[in-house]
Amino acid sequence: MGTKSCPFCAEDVLEEAIKCKHCGSMLDGSAAQQNEAPVASQPKKGKTPTCQHCDGEMAKKTKAKHSRLLVLFLGVVGIILIVTVVAWFIGLPMVLIAFIMLFGTKKFWKCKNCGAVLERA
């Protein structure tokens, strides 16, 4: 088996190798395509950004902005306060706040490869 030198790091690799064992570059030509890919930059509106850590594909994700436990706590305590009429004027806004928090979601990008998270507007 012959060897050739890696065009990226100049180390000797096997002729049949498709990936350099020294620097991890693809030797089958796909590296050239990789270089043409746009460099990871600030995400543009409506465009999927690439991961700044591994260049992986990012996926759109949403997450509850507030802890469900906190929302539940506010709601339950608020309802108890209203029902017992002791402090319904405190309980009512608590339930309202819990209700609003329930619909608050945080949008972010998550890398499918390494799990890195990028906030999105």
| Phi and psi, residue 47, nearest 5° | -120, 140
Residue pair 53/44 in contact (Cβ under 8 Å)? The answer is no
DSSP state of 49: P
Q: Does 107 bind Zn ion (CB under 5 A)?
A: no
Indicate the DSSP class of residue 61.
E
Report the number of secondary-structure helices (H) and strands (E) in the chain. 3, 5
- Of 77-106, binders to Zn ion (CB under 5 A) are none
- The answer to whether 51 contacts Zn ion (rule: CB under 5 A) is yes
- Told to check if 118 binds Zn ion by CB under 5 A, we report no
**By CB under 5 A, is residue 58 in contact with Zn ion?**
no
User: Which of 17, 26, 40, 54: binder of Zn ion (CB under 5 A)?
Assistant: 54
CB-based contact 62:42 (threshold 8 Å) = no
Instruction: Choose which of 74, 94, 98, 111 interacts with Zn ion (CB under 5 A).
Output: 111
Q: Which residues bind Zn ion (CB under 5 A)?
A: 6, 8-9, 20, 22-23, 25, 51, 53-54, 56, 111, 113-114, 116
